[in-house]
Amino acid sequence: MKNLITHIGGLPIEQLARDFGTPTFIYERDVIEKRIAELKAFDVVRFAQKACSNLAILALMKKHGVVVDAVSAGEIHRALKVGFTGQASSDPGSTGGARHAPGIVFTADLFDEDARDMIRTHKLPVNVGSPDMITQLGTFAPGTDVTLRINPGFGHGHSRKTNTGGSYSKHGIWHTEIEECLRLGKEAGVNIIGLHMHIGSGSDFQHLSTVCDAMVKAAKRMGPQLKVISAGGGLPIPYHKEQSRIDVGAYFSLWDKARKMIERDLGHSISLEVEPGRYLVAESCSLLTQIRSVKSSGGNRFYLVDAGFETLVRPSMYGAYHEISIATHDGRAVGNAFDTIVGGPLCESGDVFTQEEGGVVTTRKLPEAVVGDFLILHDAGAYGSAMSSNYNTRRLAAEVLIQQGRGDIIRERQTFEHILHFERIPSNLA
């Protein structure tokens, strides 16, 4: 029956639940490796770790020559922990083509104090999103290599909240400001060497050629000091199983064509980077939950599971669609499927996995299930664990990596004491 499964990554679901408990994010290493291999035509694959910053996932990226982007001091800290640096790697074992690219690039629209310290101490290159950052860099880290994150004047995304271009976007440097940035760069004593354009997450081909054209134009404005261009992230994945997969070869060809035009204009070679988050990890991960209540209410059928939007916020936040499957806990035959609403444990009505943008609750045809069965939310690897919270004082879920036919824990389930660790009761209230 459709949406009825028994295994994740070759391991029986019931055993995974027994060994690791629920809810648990379960990643499959070979899926991530397949996605990395698909992008190897790019000179540099830079993982947008905001999508999934678990140390084990970062270490796996590193093993395959993928470098990382960091958007906060915390993400820099993670990258340093697994051995990335701000310098180009000369690791001959790298297979991702990133041998001459810095291991970490800091991307942001501003510097906070923590980030300033990290950048200065570890000599990290910066992808700046505001002209102000260029001048500020000159005061605390002159000599830094800089790329300009350009807002080409338009954007695109799977939701209004993930569109990062256009005049209402807080991201990036407006495309007509490039010459001014070069002037500021000279004044500040930083080396502006690259251009970066990330116009949104979930982009499509119609938009892509427009972005490539905008990059070629921006490169003309920038002139001979340009050495690297970055296509940003945004490669979509088929969240609906009937959606077709993006043609990565065609995606590369469009960017490669733009790169070659720029090389012709400037008369020297240009390195082409891509910066995906979602594409590398989304499909590698299933969120394993357990059904704790099956009920009818007002004519609707509900499965309530032991994870809510504190664990996977994408449906509540963007109306994002995730495929859902059921696994029985006792191997019984299941004959019927019903239109079902799937919700979590939170004391909030928006805690529903089957909803569209704007909070419209929908149903999903799912196999008949009983309390104790398992419910799996697919494609949860990007912005799943990374966006989870302790809302309702619920613990962060465990994370497991399946490799070589077994599951290795890559994040323990949080403890209640850990949640309370930094809270203090003033003595007059104790």
* Interaction between residue 169 and ligand LLP (CB under 6 A): no
* Interaction between residue 235 and ligand LLP (CB under 6 A): yes
* Interaction between residue 51 and ligand LLP (CB under 6 A): yes
Clarify whether 347 is annotated catalytic.
yes
From 96-104, 118-126, 229-237, 361-369, span contacting ligand LLP (CB under 6 A): 229-237
Q: Pick the binder of ligand LLP from 23, 103, 234, 344 (CB under 6 A).
A: 234
Give the x/- contact pattern for ligand LLP in 86-125, rule: CB under 6 A: ---------------------x------------------
Q: Pick the binder of ligand LLP from 232, 343, 344, 367 (CB under 6 A).
A: 232
Cα separation, 116 vs 140, whole angstroms: 7
CB 201 to ligand LLP: min, Å = 3
- In terms of Cα–Cα distance, which of 33, 13, 12, 31 is closest to 22? 13
Q: Which of residues 181-200 bind ligand LLP (CB under 6 A)?
A: 198
Residue keyed to tokens 């690297």: 228
Q: How far apart are the first and last CA of the chain?
A: 57
* Interaction between residue 172 and ligand LLP (CB under 6 A): no
Radius of gyration over alpha carbons of the chain, in Å?
Answer: 23
Give the x/- contact pattern for ligand LLP in 310-349, rule: CB under 6 A: ----x-----------------------------------
* 3-class DSSP assignment, residue 414: coil
Q: Which two tokens stand for residue 140?
A: 């605390």
From 72-80, 239-247, 269-277, 323-331, span contacting ligand LLP (CB under 6 A): 269-277
* Interaction between residue 48 and ligand LLP (CB under 6 A): yes
Q: Which two tokens stand for residue 45?
A: 């694959």
In the bound state with ligand LLP, the residue whose beta carbon lies nearer, of 233 and 343, is 233
Bond preceding residue 23 cis, omega within 30 of 0: yes
- In terms of Cα–Cα distance, which of 276, 328, 356 is closest to 45? 276
Cα separation, 325 vs 144, whole angstroms: 49
Is 140 in contact with 160 (CB distance < 8 Å)? no
Q: Which of residues 272-311 bind ligand LLP (CB under 6 A)?
A: 275-279
Cα separation, 105 vs 171, whole angstroms: 16
237: Cβ–Cβ under 8 A, 6 or more apart, which residues?
245, 246, 278, 279, 282, 283, 379, 382
In the bound state with ligand LLP, the residue whose beta carbon lies nearer, of 340 and 385, is 385
Q: Pick the binder of ligand LLP from 233, 308, 344, 367 (CB under 6 A).
A: 233
Task: Kindly list the distances between the CA atom of residue 144 and the CA atoms of 85, 113, 256, 365, in Å, as whole numbers in the listed order.
Answer: 14, 17, 27, 54
In the bound state with ligand LLP, the residue whose beta carbon lies nearer, of 145 and 275, is 275
The residue annotated as part of the active site, out of 181, 212, 285, 347, is 347
Q: Pick the binder of ligand LLP from 201, 271, 311, 355 (CB under 6 A).
A: 201
Q: What is the DSSP string of 248-301?
A: HHHHHHHHHHHHHHHHHHHTS--EEEE--SHHHHGGGEEEEEEEEEEEEETTEE
In the bound state with ligand LLP, the residue whose beta carbon lies nearer, of 3 and 169, is 169
In the bound state with ligand LLP, the residue whose beta carbon lies nearer, of 284 and 290, is 284
* Interaction between residue 373 and ligand LLP (CB under 6 A): no
CB 420 to ligand LLP: min, Å = 28
CB 273 to ligand LLP: min, Å = 10
* Interaction between residue 383 and ligand LLP (CB under 6 A): yes
Residue spans of beta strands (DSSP E) within 358-428: 360-361, 364-367, 374-377, 398-403, 406-411
Q: Active-site residues: which are they?
A: 347
Which residues form the interface with ligand LLP (CB under 6 A)?
48, 51, 107, 162, 164, 198, 201, 232-235, 275-279, 314, 382-383
